[in-house]
Amino acid sequence: MKIIVFGATGLIGREIINQLSPEHEIIRVSRSSGDIQADYTDESSLIKMFEEIGSFDALVSVAGNDSQFVAFKDLKSTHFRSGIERKLMGQVNLVLLGMKYINKGGSFTLSSGYLSHYPNAYSMATSPFNAFIDNFGQSMSSQMPNQIRINVVSPAPVADKARYGIVTPEMVAKDFVQSIEGQDTGKVFKAWNMD
């Protein structure tokens, strides 16, 4: 398969590539390095990227996970705008614009985060956008033409060694690989370690 990994230079993106690259053609995309540079907050940049890549079989989004953690008393509209632009619309546009190029039976896998399921006092400018991406994947799955699938991976914070509530890049990447290579659609893969 020809797979676009958007956010290829991050911890999770690099591990997804490690797990997929032996058997698939990987197109590495990030803002400032990789095979192609693109900014997913800029529609013209995404259009240029898709035109350069052409048809593809799967797209993974692991970019833009720089969440805003702010106490209620310090919240400003700019915190929400950042979440709308980066977590929400950046990923929505990857799907909407990518539909023109994705092959029949292809798949999109987006990223949310466990804060959509476990919000806290500092996640008010982050949790709603994670929840939106979860719901977007679930809602869109029944509307996709040509047997195209869409899923979401919702990871806990990532660290080199797993501990309570924390996951490793390897653990999260397995869910992305399962989304790409499996048959699920409309699924939110909950990638966290609560044992």
For the domain covering 2-191, report its CATH number: 3.40.50.720
What's residue 181's pLDDT? 97
What's residue 64's pLDDT? 65
- Tokens 């060694």 — which residue? 161
What's residue 146's pLDDT? 98
What's residue 163's pLDDT? 66
Element spanning 111, H or E:
strand 102-111
Is 0.75 topped by the overall pTM?
yes
Provide the 8-state DSSP code for 76.
-
Q: What is the pLDDT along the chain (195 residues), one digit of tens a residue?
A: 999 999 999 889 999 999 999 899 999 999 999 999 999 999 999 999 999 999 999 999 998 666 778 888 998 998 888 888 888 999 999 999 999 999 999 999 999 998 888 888 888 888 889 999 999 999 999 999 999 999 999 998 888 776 666 889 999 999 999 999 999 999 999 988 654
CA 80/CA 57 separation, integer angstroms: 33
Q: End-to-end CA distance of the chain: give it in Å, rounded.
A: 34
List, in order, residues 6 or more apart from 173 with CB less than 8 Å away.
12, 15, 16, 18, 19
Of the candidates 23, 58, 82, which has an alpha carbon nearest to the alpha carbon of residue 149?
58
Domain boundaries, the chain: 2-191
What's residue 82's pLDDT? 83
CA 94/CA 11 separation, integer angstroms: 20
What's residue 193's pLDDT? 66
- Tokens 């893969």 — which residue? 189
